[in-house]
Structure 1
Amino acid sequence: MAQAIAEGATKVEDTTVELLRVTGEQIVNGRWKNDEGLEKLNQADAIVFGSPTYMGGVAAQFKAFIDAASEVWFRHGWKDKIAAGFTHSSSPSGDKQGTLLYLATNAGQHGMIWVNVGDLQSFLSGLDDGVNRLGGFLGVMGQSQLDMSGKEPVLDSGDYLTSVRFGERIAEATKRWNK
């Protein structure tokens, strides 16, 4: 999903995208530690937060990142920066809304400007392209079937298209906001 959002964002002229991944190896004594990654986020015009939904909330690694970013919060370092979010789980619901609320709440605490999905579910307009098939409006929701064999999950084509369109929307909003 992150790659699809990045693909959409790069469709907007003069937009540069960098994907940053929060990994378990970056967690030191329970805190996320990646000074280079944090500096890249500080310099960005927009941050798109994303986490799998595990047990109705963000992944532990992502929570460690958010906790570490409280240092940025103290100095209002991301205030007025564009923000958006996405999540994915193996269940059609999986309580993904809880994850999106967490992401938006965190952005709000930082004083960031939240961009929502902006697309109705495609079936409401008579289309059958799967755009916003899960009906997420606060951020993009994705779902793939759980495969216990260890194979990489396959992103649904509608979730992919929704993510691409979302990336483009975020880049356009960022461009307007930073005029």
Structure 2
Amino acid sequence: MPHTIVVYHSGYGHTQRLAQAVAEGAGAQSIAIDADGNLPEGGWEALQAAQAIIFGAPTYMGGPSWQFKKFADASSKPWFSQSWKDKLFAGFTCSASVNGDKQVTLDYFFHLAMQHGGLWVGLGHLPSNTKAATRNDANWIGTFSGAAAQAPADASAGEMFAGDLENGRILGQRVAQLAARLGA
């Protein structure tokens, strides 16, 4: 299976839990961006060796966390050398509000991937938008450009909705399947 990295920042554990679901679906390695916006030792080398990179961050104030933005700015070195060109990319986010401007965060990830010359992978899963649908159904929020999750501000990471975690697994599986199909 192609080598995939899930690189993410999590402020309160919700995005980390979603990252775990994405990594499970993709059979991927996870790299957490720390509270200061830095990667652990060997993180940049692992991203360089990856064939697919999946970005993740909470949506705060209409975009990704500043820690993720610091990582994105630091990715100018691989950008300059075009060393991430033609890798597969995808993304996921979580916020307390149902909308919470999650699409802006997913768009940020998309544009970062495009800056790197990458190929974007969307969720590829129909929304659960019938009267019978619940928050425990996959893609109940109805996003297409990545996986989106909603965790109430007073809920722990352990209380995340099953449908949101399934979104993460679906996204991870899709990235892994496309990477294998493309020989990435």
TM-score normalized by structure 2?
A: 0.83
Give the conservation status (yes or no) of the 8 Å contact 2:128–2:142: no
**Offset of 1:8 from its aligned partner?**
1.1
Which residues of structure 2 form unaligned runs of 5+?
A: 1-17
- What root-mean-square deviation, in Å, do the aligned CA atoms of Structure 1 and Structure 2 show? 2.0
Task: Return the letter of the residue paired with 2:152.
Answer: Q
Are 1:40 and 2:46 counterparts? yes
Give the conservation status (yes or no) of the 8 Å contact 1:117–1:137: yes
Match of 2:126 in 1: 120
- After superposition, the C-alpha distances for 1:35-68 in whole angstroms (9 at most, x for unaligned) are 5101000001100000000000010100000000
Are 1:162 and 2:173 counterparts? no
Question: How many matched pairs?
Answer: 166
Q: Which portions of structure 1, spanning 4 or more consecutive aligned residues, are displaced by more than 4 angstroms?
A: 126-129
**Offset of 1:139 from its aligned partner?**
0.7
The structure that has the greater radius of gyration is 1
Give the conservation status (yes or no) of the 8 Å contact 2:31–2:39: no
TM-score normalized by structure 1?
A: 0.86
Aligned equivalents of 1:53, 1:106: Cα separation in 2: 16
Are 1:9 and 2:26 counterparts? yes
Aligned equivalents of 1:123, 1:96: Cα separation in 2: 18
Give the conservation status (yes or no) of the 8 Å contact 1:146–1:153: no
Task: Return the letter of the residue paired with 1:112.
Answer: G
**Offset of 1:176 from its aligned partner?**
1.2
Which residues of structure 1 form unaligned runs of 5+?
A: 11-16
SS at match of 1:122: coil
Counterparts of residues 29-178 of structure 1 (less than 5 Å): 32=38, 34=40, 36-123=42-129, 130-147=137-154, 151-152=156-157, 154-178=159-183
